[in-house]
Amino acid sequence: MKKNTSKRNVLLRNIILFGVIAIFVAGQVLALGSNSNPEPENAAGSAHNEHGTPEKFKAGEMIVEHIIDNHEWHILSYGNFHLSVPLPVILLDNGRLVSFCSSKFHHGHDQYKGFAIAHEGEYKGKIVKVDQARFASEGIITQQEGQKLPLDFSITKTVLAIFISLIFMTWLFIYIARMYEKRRGEAPKGIQSILEPIILFVRDDIAKPSIGEKKYQRYMPFLLTLFFFIFTNNLLGLVPIFPGGANVTGNIAVTMVLAVFTFLITTFSANKNYWLHIVNTPGVPWWLKIPVPLMPIVELIGVFTKPFVLMVRLFANITAGHIIVLGFISLIFIFGQMHPAFGYGISIVSIAFSIFMTLLELLVAFIQAYVFTLLSALYFGMAIEEHH
């Protein structure tokens, strides 16, 4: 009887798991299909322009649109109905602070206070000072020649996603810290026991071997925050609907900031031995250092390439994963435009591959968080390594 129940439970769990993944993928298809034409000329219909002729589906444009930042958080469109979360626009224009709601742009079709999102040109997708003459004549928003671009400090989709994930993390870990204090000396329980192995993994398999038993404790707060920030956002990035779906760790500005944090901590905790190693690299022939300081130059470049590589690796891995999933889903619409039957036919293959990729992305989400944290820890370890 008991065996029977457990069997049924496993089956039920599998069905739920499969269902959740299927919903995720279906959500991606929906979000993608509805959001495929946010350009002004397509506002009237989801796949038809003003003249009623079918608009060609541009997979590349659509994919890029999904992985870059945005001034509104689009959830779905159905016909003329657009559901999106408007976000605050904050601009610094010649020392003047301007802020308003992004819904004033009417999904990028309109200008407000002389600002709008550029349709084309060098600043495409960015908020510019509108070239009024061209907007009046052609309806296309471009940057006014000779004007300085306003500095954009808007709470964009990515910024909001960062805030949401960080607030979530703050709540979660302070809650767990309370549990640890309340249940001092007892075995972990509930959510605490889910996260404890990960915390111990970061401590015992990342920090301790890389930095060393003596000094690893100083770096634990950064390594844990870093790991959980990347891991949380990687996972949230796989959820197609709000508040997930923002491409946080696949955004180069985000990975850059993380890499800069690693770089600064490495540089400021570096000891004499580390700098000596750069200036006078041991174990290489003297003529590589004098008269032309070839090795010191290589080492110095290395100091900067290390965080640079961290930045690019995380960005590229997450972005690539998203592009592949979006690519598979785009196939449905590309084929669907040839003939609806083709679209339905290919959807089986596309969804199968998307599920596979999503599962792979789950793995990548963990691996990339692990790699970024491990390499950061290794760099810290190098910086404080004692001479032997």
Partner 1 sequence: MELVSPGIGLIFWMTLAFGAVLWVLGKYAWKPIMKSLHDREEFIDKALHEADLARQEMKELKFSNEKLLAEAKEERDEILKQAREIKEKLIENAKIKANEEANRIVENARETIQNEKMAAMVDLKNQIAKLSIDIAEKLLAHELSEPKKQKEYVDKLIRDARLN
Degrees (nearest 5) of the Cα angle 298, 269, 226?
95
Cα separation values, 263 from 186, 198, 353, Å: 38, 24, 38
DSSP line for 326-344: HHHHHHHHHHHHH-HHHHH
Interaction of residue 208 with partner 1, rule CB under 8 A? no
Interaction of residue 64 with partner 1, rule CB under 8 A? yes
> Which helix (H) or strand (E) segment is 89 a member of?
strand 88-93
- Amino acid 23 reads I
- Which CB, 64 or 76, lies closer to partner 1? 64
Residues linked to residue 85 through DSSP beta bridges, in sequence order? 73
Interaction of residue 258 with partner 1, rule CB under 8 A? yes
CB atoms within 10 A of CB 100: 16
Residue 230 CB, nearest approach to partner 1 (Å): 11
For partner 1, the binding residue among 203, 208, 215, 313 (CB under 8 A) is 203
Instruction: Give the interface size with partner 1 as a residue count (CB under 8 A).
Output: 51
Most distant CA atoms of the chain, gap in Å:
82
Show the binding pattern over residues 66-85: x = contacts partner 1 (CB under 8 A), - = does not: -xxx----------------
Residue 154 CB, nearest approach to partner 1 (Å): 6
Residue 167 CB, nearest approach to partner 1 (Å): 8
Looking at 30-38, 245-253, 282-290, 328-336, which segment touches partner 1 (CB under 8 A)? 245-253
> Which helix (H) or strand (E) segment is 378 a member of?
helix 340-384
Instruction: Identify whether the C-beta of residue 383 lies closer than 8 Å to the C-beta of residue 266.
Output: yes
Assigned token pair, 68: 């870059």
Looking at 76-84, 104-112, 246-254, 340-348, which segment touches partner 1 (CB under 8 A)? 246-254
Interaction of residue 176 with partner 1, rule CB under 8 A? yes
346: Cβ–Cβ under 8 A, 6 or more apart, which residues?
331, 332, 335, 336
Assigned token pair, 16: 């739920």
Interaction of residue 39 with partner 1, rule CB under 8 A? no
For partner 1, the binding residue among 140, 169, 298, 303 (CB under 8 A) is 169
Instruction: Identify whether the C-beta of residue 52 lies closer than 8 Å to the C-beta of residue 352.
Output: no
Residue 209 CB, nearest approach to partner 1 (Å): 17
Residue 173 CB, nearest approach to partner 1 (Å): 4
Residue 218 CB, nearest approach to partner 1 (Å): 10
Interaction of residue 57 with partner 1, rule CB under 8 A? no
CB atoms within 10 A of CB 20: 11
For partner 1, the binding residue among 234, 319, 368, 373 (CB under 8 A) is 319
Return d(Cα 341, Cα 339) in angstroms, integer. 5
Residues linked to residue 82 through DSSP beta bridges, in sequence order? 77
- Amino acid 251 reads N
- Which CB, 155 or 378, lies closer to partner 1? 155
Interaction of residue 158 with partner 1, rule CB under 8 A? yes
The footprint of partner 1 (CB under 8 A) covers 64, 67-69, 90, 124-126, 151-156, 158-159, 162-163, 166, 169-170, 173-174, 176-177, 180-181, 184-185, 196, 199-200, 203, 217, 220-222, 224-225, 229, 251-254, 256-258, 260-261, 315, 319
